[in-house]
Amino acid sequence: MPESEHGVVADATDLETAAMDGARALARAIAESATFRAFEEARDTLMTDVELTRCLRGYQRCRQEFETARSWGGGDPREGEALEAEWRALAEAPAVREYLRTQDDLVVLLREVAALISQEIGMDYASACAPAGGCCG
Amino acid sequence: MTTGEEKSAVLAQTQKFIGALKATPAGQALVRALERTQGDPEVQRLHENLQRAVDAFQRAQRAGTVSEEQIQAIREAQAEYQRHPTVGELFGAQMKMTSLLRSANFVISDLLALDFGQTVRSAGGCC
């Protein structure tokens, strides 16, 4: 029965489209919250500071290289200490402090959203969305 | 901090999204499969078997005494669990839901300009 089969397929697609619309509406509700707007403002402020973002990128690159080396049993502990000191200095910049503060608030809200989805669906949202092969690759 | 009112608005939209997810064929299949696996004593027994084998392996791993038999025991318990038709159904439904959740995560992350899934992963990483 190709006709009814087609009907079922169309219905499934509609339902999936409705789910994606639901995702979009959820994202909009998050975007409209003062928590997100504060984060967005802090993110924009940080991004306009060219020198600071350059330092942060440099730090992140070094941190990542160090973590990779450490996961393979390498990584000089002195380098780890130097990175910690660099981070402390960076985190003192008001733009970074504000970014981290607003990010913390946002993460609390987003985690609550994800926990609710995980609980109701019976699957862990974050793991399901992790890149294939796990996040440790 | 998020005010109570704001949080309610976000959580209400979350509930609507969950409702829409559950209404999809993948969502309905998942709900059915979860109910069936939870209500099936044979599946529960196979799951407990697997859990026992994994626990024994982890204990041995901490003590540094892992044996080939323990690894084999996990493989067998896992194969037996996965061969059960109800479990196969559950895995199939979970795979479909994973694909749906990833698409949704893409939509949400795109709108917020941040990776939602990655952001909510526990701070210590998943490992």
Query: Is residue A22 domain-shared with residue A85, that is, in the same domain?
Result: no
Write out the two tokens for A134: 């796990």
Query: Is residue A59 domain-shared with residue A45, that is, in the same domain?
Result: yes
Chain B hits for A41, CB-CB cut-off 8 Å, are none
Query: Is residue A81 domain-shared with residue A43, that is, in the same domain?
Result: yes
d(CA B117, CA B127): 15
Tally of domains in chain A: 2
Nearest-neighbour CA in chain B from A129: distance (Å): 5
Closest-approach residue (CA) in chain B for A137: B127
Looking at residue A74, what is its pLDDT? 83
Query: Is residue A39 domain-shared with residue A96, that is, in the same domain?
Result: yes
Judge whether B9 lies within some domain: no
Residue A10: CA count within 13 A, CB half-sphere:
6
Q: A23 near B107, Cβ under 8 Å?
A: yes
Query: Is residue A41 domain-shared with residue A23, that is, in the same domain?
Result: no
Judge whether A131 lies within some domain: no
Residue position matching structure tokens 């027994």: B45
Chain B hits for A130, CB-CB cut-off 8 Å, are 117-118, 121, 126
B21 touches chain A (CB under 8 A): yes
For the stretch B22-43, pLDDT in tens is 999 999 999 999 999 999 999 9
Nearest-neighbour CA in chain A from B99: distance (Å): 8
d(CA B108, CA A125): 13
Judge whether B82 lies within some domain: yes
Judge whether A21 lies within some domain: yes
pTM here is 0.81
For the stretch A90-137, pLDDT in tens is 999 999 999 999 999 999 999 999 999 999 999 999 999 887 654 443
| Domain ranges, residue A116 | 34-125
Angle CA(A83)–CA(A84)–CA(A85) in degrees, nearest 5? 90
Q: What percent of chain A stands above pLDDT 70?
A: 88
Could you tell me which of A40, A14, A28, A43 has the C-alpha nearest to residue A113? A28
Query: Is residue A19 domain-shared with residue A54, that is, in the same domain?
Result: no
Looking at residue A132, what is its pLDDT? 60
Query: Is residue A60 domain-shared with residue A115, that is, in the same domain?
Result: yes
Query: Is residue A114 domain-shared with residue A92, that is, in the same domain?
Result: yes
Complex ipTM: 0.82
d(CA B33, CA B30): 5
Judge whether A17 lies within some domain: yes
Query: Is residue A14 domain-shared with residue A64, that is, in the same domain?
Result: no
Judge whether A93 lies within some domain: yes
